[in-house]
Amino acid sequence: MALKISMTRRRFMATTAAIGAATLAAPYIARAAEAKIAVGRQPWAAGNSPITQYMIDNKTFEKKAKDLGIDLTIDWRDYPSAQPMVEAFVSGNLDLGMWGNTPIIRGLAAQQPWSILNVGEGHFRFVIATRPDSPIRTIEDLKGKTIGTLLGGDPYNALSQILLNELGSGNPKDFDIKLINIPTQAQAATIPTGLDAAVVIYPAFLKAQKDLGTVGIVNSFGYTEDHYKGPAGQGAGHLLESVKKSAFYPDGYYLHRSFWMGRNAVIDENPDLVVAFAAAQQEAVTALKAMETGAVSDLVKKYWELPADLGSKVVKDDVIFGRGWIWPTEGDIGAIIQTSKFMVAGGLIPQELEWDPVLTNIQKAAPLLKKAYEMTGSKPDEATFAKSDAGDVRGAPIWESDRWKQH
């Protein structure tokens, strides 16, 4: 019996030693850090809608985060416009969100603890729309009329720039134009009773044009729409010469860019989330760029409510699908600076932004975006970033900008 016990003890010790040796020899497997994040998007807008839908359907954000050692849970939230997202940022109830120049400039002016990330969408077409029986056929005809728009937002800015370059002043009051705030684009596109015209984003305009017969006069790209009749000709597609005077040309009367924004507290705690987020978006853009534009539109048909042939027009307009990449350039950031000058004239902010505070703001994200850029397999070359005849304002990627390097 003693011999049997002794042999058992030897076997146990030998087995334990073997297990220990095997454990030491086995590769170390790090456990992924867990993280949760709330992301707001505007699926009724333009390019961000199919991009984020692809990310949701294919879990690209989660996968890129996993590559960086993060086990990520995402709370995707749909918003009709920027303002509720801004309010959620203020309360610390949203981590990443996307909005246009106007609320970004206001946030920078107020030194909010938020950072500019990558381009979310851009080159949005804003249409000055009216009823099919309206006598309003030119911008001149808007004098003394009542126009619906999203006050303090990009639709208002687009209207202001059209008035400035066509009539000589960006202030509607100079032409006895009365503005009415219309918070939703679907409502604006119906040209409610009491309005003579409205400034409408392209997806909402196309739907109202199809369903209600709403017509357009001119768009923010500087071209006439179907109801136009004036010095440039009649009907759609005529270039208005005044657009060439715009500070934003060749983008049009107004250089629309929407950027993804991140709360600094979230970026500081886990900067690789920004890297994963940008890399995931770029993967989505690359995949969508390879698809037919109508198929891209169909991904978000429940939001745009457009058939593929009309939805493809929205896709073709967007700067991201034209470029094939999401990286912010010096020209894109410059749009924020330039727009702030006109916001001062309109009394929306006390003074225009200078480059220094904007460059300070993007210091947090620029190296993270560069890391994401280097992670992606397909990258534009220097000539593509600097291409001057692309139809949109570009420049060096922000992390290569001489301004940023010298800041």
pLDDT tens sequence across 108-150: 988 999 999 999 998 889 999 999 999 999 999 999 999 999 8
Instruction: Quote the CA–CA distance of 205 and 218 in Å, as a whole number.
Output: 12
- CATH-assigned architecture of domain 126-245: 3-Layer(aba) Sandwich (3.40)
CB 254 within 8 A of CB 127: no
The torsion angles phi and psi of 260, rounded to 5 degrees, stand at: -75, 140
In this predicted structure, which of 204-213, 220-229, 328-337, 387-396 has the lowest mean pLDDT? 387-396
Mean pLDDT across the chain: 89
Rounded CA-CA distance 374/151 in Å is 39
Tally of CB atoms within 10 A around 364 = 18
Q: Is 334 strand, coil or helix? A: helix
Q: Which of 28-32, 79-83, 154-158, 329-333 has the lowest mean pLDDT?
A: 28-32
| Residues found in the chain | 407
| Cα 125 from Cα 311, distance rounded (Å) | 13
Backbone angles phi, psi at 43, to 5 degrees: -70, -15
d(CA 365, CA 398): 10
CA dist 326 and 369 (Å) reads 10
CA dist., res. 394 & res. 402, Å (int)? 14
Fold of 33-122+256-406: D-Maltodextrin-Binding Protein; domain 2 (3.40.190)
What is the predicted pLDDT for the residue at 381?
85
Chain Cα centroid distance, residue 70: 25
Output Rg (C-alpha) for the chain, integer angstroms: 26
Rounded Cα distance between 277 and 284, Å, is 11
Residues 6+ apart with CB under 8 A from 247: 338
Contact 336, 358 (CB under 8 A): yes
| Residue with the two structure tokens 């100079």 | 174
| DSSP label of 33 | E
**φ, ψ of residue 113 in degrees (nearest 5):** -80, 60
Full-prediction pTM beyond 0.85? no
What value does the mean pLDDT take over residues 56-60? 98
- Beta bridge partners, 200, equal 127
Q: Cis ω on the peptide bond leading into residue 103 (within 30° of 0)? A: no
Q: Report the percent of the chain where pLDDT is more than 90.
A: 68
* Distance between CA atoms of residues 310 and 293, nearest Å: 10
Residue 368 CA: distances (Å) to CA of 68, 237, 285, 361, 386: 13, 41, 19, 13, 21
CA nearest to 407, candidates 339, 352, 359: 359
Beta pairing, strands 126-130 & 197-201: antiparallel
pLDDT of residue 13 exceeding 80 = no
Count of helix runs (H) and strand runs (E) in the chain = 19, 12
Comparing 391 with 113, the larger pLDDT belongs to 113
CB 139 within 8 Å of CB 170: no
Which residues of the chain form CATH 3.40.190.10?
A: 33-122+256-406, 126-245
Q: How confident is the model at residue 18 (pLDDT cuts 50, 70, 90)?
A: very low
